[in-house]
Structure 1
Amino acid sequence: MVESIHEINTKFNGEWVFLINCSVDEDGNLVEGEVVLHSKSRDEIFRNMNKYKDSPSMVSIRYAGKIPEGVNVLL
């Protein structure tokens, strides 16, 4: 089920999420997607996202909520 980024951030606050069927706005900002994996462990997401490597849709990995202190994010 495709959800807005606001809904995803609220529902999965404090977790890493892997999204498929993503949509972006005219500025390239992610606005919605379908959560297929979520976990407090980023490594768990990376281990399991291979199942979706052939997905024809736009995909994204993101942290839902405030990024924890000591975690670096590369954009």
Structure 2
Amino acid sequence: MAEILTWEQITQRFQGEWLLIVEAELDEQMGIIQGQVLAHSSNQDDIYNALPLRQGRSASIEYVGEMPEDLAFILSYEFTSHLPTSAIGKPSLS
């Protein structure tokens, strides 16, 4: 089993790096209290390439350190339905 680290331990070990974290325990503001670091890199693309390592588990991508002023990012959400295609988008007449 991989090591679970507190956020304080994570920030001490991975300063200036992008992280892929699973098994995260979150506080009320959705900040990470502790979690398992699956991948870390100074290159953000390496973290996106490591996403298959999460094996279906919820994951967080975090940056530890000061964000560069010229960095911009977009938050997105992918919706995946577990309903059969025939049940999506058809209004009920009952």
Normalising by the smaller structure, the TM-score range is 0.7 to 0.9
CA distance 1:10–1:46, change in 2 (3 Å): same
Consecutive aligned runs of 4 or more in structure 1 exceeding 3 Å deviation: none
Structure 2 spans left out of the alignment, 5+ residues: 76-94
CA contact (8 A) 2:38 2:53 kept: no
Counterpart in 2 of 1:2? 4
Tell me the TM-score normalised to structure 2 length. Answer: 0.68
Aligned length: 73
Counterpart in 1 of 2:69? 69
Output the aligned Cα RMSD. 1.6
Normalized per residue, which structure has more strand? 1
Shift of 1:5: 1.2
> Structure 1 vs Structure 2: percent identity of aligned residues?
27
Q: More deviation in 3-12 or 13-22?
A: 3-12
Structure 1 spans left out of the alignment, 5+ residues: none
Letter of the aligned partner of 1:10 in structure 2? Q
Letter of the aligned partner of 1:71 in structure 2? L
1:23-60: CA deviation from partner (whole Å, max 9, x where unpaired):
111332221111010000000110121221412xx421
Tell me the TM-score normalised to structure 1 length. Answer: 0.82
Q: Which has the higher contact order (CA 8 A, sep 6+)?
A: 1
